[in-house]
Amino acid sequence: MLDRYLFRGKGVLSKAWQIGHYFQCMMEHYIRFPKTPKHEVLVDPTTIGQCTGLRDKNGKLIFEGDIIKTKMFGKKVSRGCNMSGYDYFTIVFTDGSFMLDTKERSFTATYIPGKESHYEVVGNIHDNPELLEV
């Protein structure tokens, strides 16, 4: 469960996603790689997100800022009315916990022991903001 201490950020020069340990030095933001601790990459601070410690149904780590597709909570169709179907949520960190969030509703991002993950990472808010308009 040490995955939850990982961070992700987009490299300033490479524009590629970097995963590792986050630190700040002299107002610059870096990701340091766990397996090569002397190697670090300068990252854009607006793209930094912490790992939730959860994995999606494909085994992919879920990070703050990811866009998740799930049918666990149904799809909101009108005031107070949910129907079955997939809905898209953003992973945010609020009040000490990771949440699945939309403009209308919010749920705690949880893992249910003994059950396969019902989340699927379909993108993130930095590379795929159009997914939130679905």
pLDDT in tens, the chain (134 residues): 467 789 999 999 999 999 999 999 999 999 998 777 678 999 999 999 999 999 999 999 999 999 999 877 766 666 655 566 678 899 999 988 999 998 888 888 887 766 667 899 999 999 998 887 75
Asked whether residue 102 is domain-assigned, the answer is: yes
What's the pLDDT score for residue 126? 94
Asked whether residue 111 is domain-assigned, the answer is: yes
- Does residue 121 sit in the same domain as residue 81? yes
Angle at CA 23, nearest 5°, toward 34 and 20?
25
- Does residue 73 sit in the same domain as residue 20? no
**CA nearest neighbour of 101 among 114, 81, 83, 87:** 87
Question: What is the DSSP track for 74-120?
Answer: -EEEETTEEESS-EEEEEEEETTEEEEE-SS-EEE----TTS----E
Last residue of a domain, one of 32, 47, 62: 47
- Does residue 41 sit in the same domain as residue 57? no
- Does residue 61 sit in the same domain as residue 112? yes
- Does residue 27 sit in the same domain as residue 74? no
What's the pLDDT score for residue 108? 86
- Does residue 63 sit in the same domain as residue 29? no
Global pTM reads 0.85
- Does residue 38 sit in the same domain as residue 102? no
How many domains is the chain built from? 2
- Does residue 29 sit in the same domain as residue 60? no
Q: What is the CATH number of the domain that holds 117?
A: 2.30.30.290
Q: Which domain range does residue 76 map to? A: 52-125
Report residue 64 as tokens: 């703050």
Asked whether residue 131 is domain-assigned, the answer is: no
Residues 6 and 19: their CA atoms lie apart, in Å, by: 7
Q: Are strands 97-101 and 87-94 parallel, antiparallel or unpaired?
A: antiparallel
What's the pLDDT score for residue 102? 86
